Amino acid sequence: MSADMEGIKVLLLVLCLIGLSEANTSPTINGVVFNVCEDAPKDAYVFTIKATDDEGDPLTYSLTQPNDQYFSVESNTGRVSVLMTLDREASNVMELGVIVSDIVNESRGTLTIILSEANDNRPIFQSSTYDIQIAENTPVGTTLFRASATDADTSTGGVVKYSIDEVTPNAGSSLFSILPTTGEVTLTGPLNYTSLSTFYRLKINATDGGGKCFYDTINYLSSIAFSFITIQDVPDLDPRFIGIPYVGTVKENSPLNTAVLKVTALDQDTGVNDAIIYSIEESTAEGLFTISGKDGTISVLSYIDREAIGDTVTLTVKATESNANIHEVQATATAKVLINIEDVNDSGPKFYKCVDGRNCVEESHFTGEVDEHWLGSISINMTVRDLDKIADTILTLEGKDKAVFSVQPSSTTSDSVVQLQVKEPQNLDFEEKQQMVLQIIATDRGNPTFQSTATVTINIKDTNDNSPKFPQELYKLNIAENSAVGTELDTITADDPDTMDQGNLTYRLLPDSILPYFDVQPRTGKVYVKNSTLLDREVRTLFSATLQASDTDDKPGSTVLEITVTDINDNAPIINRDNYREFVKEDQNLELKIEATDADDSETENSQIVYSIEPSKYSNNFTIDPETGLLRNTGKLDREALDPKLNGMIELNVTASDKGVPSLSTTVPVFIIVEDINDNTPQFKAPSYKFSVKEGEKGAFVGSVQAEDLDQTAEFNRISFSIIEGSFGSFIIRTFADQRGYRGNITVDPDIELDYESARKQFQLQVEAMDLEQKKATVMVTVDVLDVNDERPEFKPTPPVAVKENFTISESVGSFTGQDKDGNHSLVYELESIKCRCNGAVEPCSWFILDSTGEVRLNPEDTVDYEECDQVVIDAQVVDEYTEKGENNSVTTGQMVINIEDINDNAPEFIFSDSVFVVVSESASKGTSVAAVTATDRDSGINRQIDFKVTEVQFRNDNNQTSTMRILFDAVTTQQKDVYVGIIQTSEKLDTSLKGKYLVKVSATDTGDLSTSTILEIFAVDESFRVELAFTKSQSVVEANLNDITRSLTAATKASVEIASIRTDTTEASRVSGNTIIVAYFVYANGTALSFNEVEKMISEPPHSLALIELGLADIGKAPVIEPVTDPVRYILLGMLAGLIVVLAVLTTSLMCTRRNYKRKLKAAKAMNSAAIVTSDNQKSGPVVPGTNKYTMEGANPVLNLNINAAMILDMDEDSSDVDKVSLNSLDSSGYMTNPDKDKLMNIIQEEEEGDRGPSEYIEPLGAALAHRGQKKGSDNHDIGFSNPIFSTTDL
């Protein structure tokens, strides 16, 4: 029964629990949509799951599919954080499963997460390069190509703008532009293949519009693409002759086709280089020469006569390009060619007539003139000339009248001017004979003889016997007054029948008194004005003069000139007074007549006058009749409306102008004095006044009231003040003239002492102002009685102030606040000191100034710099200006602390390093660190964070040729305390065959996008310069001593040591002894690398060798030898030959081994009884060569220090076989030498033939046998053995 009851109890308990469970409701998820930034970093909080429970039970949160791998949630708070990187471009909406549980029940839901855009995608160019070729004559403004980039972002982050960051060469920067919105590259300047560059490289930048989401900083991303623009030459330049000037020589009568000289022209368009065609464009003697169109050779074309063409011929040679240029014409160029003609004697004398001694023509008839009865020579313009260069000519006269003349010269050897000389002047009579004819004969006395005859006609001239005569006896002339100098009145000429006077008359004006006004040109008879200012019609209207003409013998003739001066408008109106002054009272009218006259002709408009008023401040208040000049006012005249400084005077400028063209005018000042009348009442300047006065001061000044009477004269505006009510006998007032109006000074009655403790602490005074004509005004004046000030001021606490560096705001950055217990006080602030905390030290400074109001402002002459000082402390004093008793300043000074906040105003600065950076084959793989840069930023906090980036890579080979490469390196930014380090790593495997250096441009950019760049030189060193160093110590020990090893190697070689790798030697012997190999390169700062031999020589010098031996250096190995490429056929043939040799060697060796094996055993048996004891007398010392088994002294052995016979051939006699040598050498290997050939030579030792030299000191029989191996009979050398620490006989 009890068991049944227990079962019932359990059942009831279960039913209760079930009932309670069903009564508990599930939690409710309230929000299902959240916005999350796609750039939210890992572990960043993004939103909180909102859920409620009706019972208020604690809720737990968890995430489930889908997408629970991207987020994590705090189980007890529902705060969701990012677990994996989000990408809006992959999906802009995500669903996230969520479970909310109250322990008893749980609710499942799906959240919708909308990813917000963050600018996380760079613009991607659709093409990696934009290479084009354009002609050099491409028009400016031509669109060359369009660079296009796309950005996967949206909004402003997906808007791409383009720019050209760099043009190479830099001189081409102005030639190209890019449209920022479309990427269209346009030619903006002319190209030139010849004078400018033939190619350009454009660095095009595509930058997106930036964006931000999770972070506050706007993130801009950009990409770079390059365009190589090749300029193609076009035929736009003319050809050019070379070797100018061209001068040649040829004899007259030379055979046809005789070559004279050759000209050469080149096409200046070097990229086109058209063939040149030659031709003769001009010639001073046509048809004499021709030119070869292909090669420019000039040759004789026709018969040459020097006497006909002269001593020289000038050709204009033209060079024409074979193809048309850009203008569809064939370009040409010309050059002058001078050809000298050598003379041959083949001509006789001839007569010539010359003009100006130059232009001569052959002539047989000549004419001369002579005055009758003339005695002297006669010029007949005759020149006798023998065209031959060498001539001998005689001249004679023939004819009826030859006795009257003689010929000069009578003989000549060159070109000569021939004249006739009068011998009988009495026979030259015009009345008897007007003409004589002669013959001049020129005879060449050469062989053969040539003769020429010329006829000369002499005309006899008449003499002067007539006077000049004018056509009229009187000439009437008119001229306008003030005509310009040189103005022509008329041209009057006279006639003279004498032939010698034709055109030879001269003119003059008489009398001399007319010459200041007029004159005449002496040769033409032109009468003109000589002085324009003297021609004034108003002074003189008529002139009379005599015009005289004279012939060549000064025979005169004359006529009369009557000159009338006509009027022009040259007189301005004249006002009859210098100025007008008129008095008029206020409110009265003005009438004033202005009068003027004009001196010009009264019958013309030149003398008609018009009046006007020039615009001025008060000109609109007046008007004037333009015809009569009557001046009136247009409105009421008010003295008070005028500027008091004018003292009632108005100044007008009235102009009188005539109607001439151009019009002339005169201006006169008119002064109108407006007289004052008393039409204004005094007026106080304030509606009421309030003053205060301290108690207990007799005669103390209370305050001033001001009043003004707008009347402008003293008799009407003088004011007197009086207190008419409220004084109670305590105050008096006195009147004083003020700058404007009058002032009434109110003072305490000298016999009265005010008491603050009395009933009257305030007075209401009624003050009256009255002018001399009893016009009055009143005002209320309130006077407060003040208590005496006797409390010192004090400062209120001043909180610290924060100011950003470099700020330039003129407003206050903070202020001191003081207080005073006195009711009446005036606090001013005075500076005590300003101190700055600079680098931990406090020092005076002047960054701020303190106003008397307590406001602290920036000193405009200084700049606040956080990097210089980070805190400013200002101490000030407050003073009560109203203190009457005791001290007026505060007991303690006030202090303000100004903390300077840093801003990003400093760009990163690279730290100089003399390190040498190299790239070797071991570091040419991707991800290998090859260099490092360090930089600092003077800013603080986030502003000093630096990010390194490789922006450009170039390679300069050993021929100093530089080429731009893709970005082969990445920069990894790390921080070491305050210094940022940029580790330069290879981004891909490098080409180890390149020889030269990489020029890597690295930029350091802080968080404010301030950046600085530097260029690293990373030398490419090929593996032929690799050096392997063997150390006897383990790899861990070598790595621990690596700094000491590097310093010792650097000291020995003076070069930078690049450690390529450290490894344990893999040979069996090295594993036993723990040997380590260091692979290194030795490079100087200029990129020069040391070879193996150079390194070996340098580290062998003491004391460097001793230091390296102490560090464990045992050997130095050569770099691997790069085998040259061989001909495959030759290699196969040599291989076959080598195979045959190997077969023969194997057969021979097999036979020899059988015989030698027996002999070796016999020697080993004898070794125990014949081994010699090694003595110290045969030892040879000397410095050791590190890493080798050599001593610097000949014959030394590094193991036994025994003498070695250098004359022996590698320790073998003639009976020793190759097998013996190989066997012995195998025992000599130390195991840590990396070069087998070198090790073989270094470990061979010489041994003597066997002999009985005493008891053996060798422990093992094989050691004694080896010590006596190969010993020569009869040798006096001591026994020599060797010991190898690596192997023992047990090993063998």
Q: Is the pLDDT of residue 1072 over 60?
A: no
Tell me, what amino acid is at 1247? E
Average pLDDT over residues 1193-1202: 39
Torsion of CA 183, 184, 185, 188, to 10 degrees: -120
Question: pLDDT category, 920, cuts 50, 70, 90?
Answer: confident
Q: Which residues touch 86 (CB under 8 Å, ≥6 apart)?
A: 36, 38, 39, 40, 70, 94, 115
Average pLDDT over residues 366-375: 86
Specify the pLDDT at position 1255: 44
Q: Is the pLDDT of residue 465 over 80?
A: no
User: Nearest to residue 824, comparing CAs of 786, 877, 864, 781?
Assistant: 786
Specify the pLDDT at position 1068: 54
pTM given for the model: 0.32
Specify the pLDDT at position 883: 78
Quote the tokens at residue 428.
């030259």
Rg of the chain taking only CA atoms, in angstroms: 62
Q: Is the pLDDT of residue 294 over 80?
A: yes
Q: Which residues touch 1189 (CB under 8 Å, ≥6 apart)?
A: 1197, 1198, 1199, 1230, 1242, 1243
Instruction: Evaluate whether 131 touches 228 at the Cβ level (below 8 Å).
Output: yes
Q: Is the pLDDT of residue 49 over 50?
A: yes
Average pLDDT, whole number, for the chain? 81
Residues facing residue 834 across a β-bridge: 874
309-342: burial string, b at 16+ Cβ within 10 Å, e else? beeebebebbbbbeeebeeeeebbbbbebebebe
Q: Is the pLDDT of residue 1286 over 80?
A: no
Instruction: Evaluate whether 1033 touches 1115 at the Cβ level (below 8 Å).
Output: no
Q: Of 608-617, 948-957, 1081-1090, which range is least confident?
A: 1081-1090
Instruction: Evaluate whether 246 touches 335 at the Cβ level (below 8 Å).
Output: yes
Q: Is the pLDDT of residue 1253 over 80?
A: no
Quote the tokens at residue 837.
């905390």
Q: Per residue in 102-151, pLDDT tens?
A: 888 999 999 999 888 888 889 999 988 899 999 888 999 999 999 999 98
Question: pLDDT category, 1162, cuts 50, 70, 90?
Answer: low
Q: In what order do the strands lie in the sheet with 377-386?
A: 359-362, 349-355, 377-386, 416-422, 405-408
Q: Is the pLDDT of residue 658 over 70?
A: yes
The whole-angstrom separation of Cα 925 and Cα 992 is 10
Question: pLDDT category, 1211, cuts 50, 70, 90?
Answer: very low
User: Nearest to residue 583, comparing CAs of 649, 643, 640?
Assistant: 649
Q: Is the pLDDT of residue 1292 over 70?
A: no
Average pLDDT over residues 391-395: 86
Distance of CA 1054 to the CA centre of its chain: 41
Q: Is the pLDDT of residue 1221 over 50?
A: no
Q: Which residues touch 391 (CB under 8 Å, ≥6 apart)?
A: 349, 412, 413, 414, 444, 446
Terminus-to-terminus CA distance in the chain, angstroms?
Answer: 98
C-alpha distances in Å from residue 642, one per residue of 586, 590, 710: 11, 16, 11
Q: Is the pLDDT of residue 20 over 60?
A: no
Q: Is the pLDDT of residue 733 over 90?
A: yes
Question: pLDDT category, 1165, cuts 50, 70, 90?
Answer: low
Specify the pLDDT at position 1190: 43
Q: Is the pLDDT of residue 78 over 50?
A: yes
DSSP secondary structure string for all residues of 245-310: SEEEEEETTPPTT-EEEE-EEE-S-TTT---EEEEEEEESSTTSEEE-TTT-EEEE-S---HHHH-
Specify the pLDDT at position 1074: 54
Q: Residue 882 gets which letter from DSSP?
A: T
Q: Per residue in 1111-1134, pLDDT tens?
A: 888 866 544 444 444 456 666 777
Q: Per residue in 567-607, pLDDT tens?
A: 888 788 988 888 999 888 888 888 888 889 888 777 788 88
Instruction: Evaluate whether 920 touches 1060 at the Cβ level (below 8 Å).
Output: yes
Q: Per residue in 807-824, pLDDT tens?
A: 777 788 899 999 887 767
Instruction: Evaluate whether 233 touches 272 at the Cβ level (below 8 Å).
Output: yes
Specify the pLDDT at position 1060: 80
Q: Per residue in 874-892, pLDDT tens?
A: 999 999 888 776 788 888 8
The whole-angstrom separation of Cα 289 and Cα 337 is 11
Specify the pLDDT at position 636: 85
Q: Per residue in 683-693, pLDDT tens?
A: 899 999 999 98
* Helix-helix angle 1042-1053:1092-1099, to 10 degrees: 100
DSSP secondary structure string for all residues of 796-851: PP---EEEETT----S-SEE--EE-SSSS--EEEEEEEEEEEETTEEEE--SEEE-
Question: pLDDT category, 1196, cuts 50, 70, 90?
Answer: very low
Half-sphere exposure of 961 (CA within 13 A, CB side): 3
Q: Per residue in 197-239, pLDDT tens?
A: 888 999 999 999 888 888 888 889 999 999 999 998 888 888 9
Q: Of 7-21, 472-486, 1065-1079, which range is least confident?
A: 7-21
Of all residues in the chain, what percent carry a pLDDT higher than 70? 84
DSSP secondary structure string for all residues of 478-541: EEETTPPTT-EEEE---B---GGGTT--EEEEESGGGTTTEEE-TTT-EEEES-STT--TTT--
Q: Is the pLDDT of residue 87 over 70?
A: yes
Q: Of 112-121, 390-399, 771-780, 1161-1170, which range is least confident?
A: 1161-1170
Pairing, β 794-795 against β 246-251: unpaired
The whole-angstrom separation of Cα 800 and Cα 898 is 6
* Helix-helix angle 1128-1170:1218-1228, to 10 degrees: 80
Q: Per residue in 850-865, pLDDT tens?
A: 888 888 998 888 888 8
**Tally of residues, the chain:** 1292
Q: Per residue in 1010-1063, pLDDT tens?
A: 899 999 888 888 777 888 888 888 888 888 888 889 888 888 888 888 888 888
Question: pLDDT category, 5, cuts 50, 70, 90?
Answer: low
Specify the pLDDT at position 125: 93
Specify the pLDDT at position 952: 92
Question: pLDDT category, 1180, cuts 50, 70, 90?
Answer: very low
Quote the tokens at residue 363.
């002539």
The whole-angstrom separation of Cα 1001 and Cα 880 is 66
C-alpha distances in Å from residue 566, one per residue of 481, 482, 491: 6, 10, 19
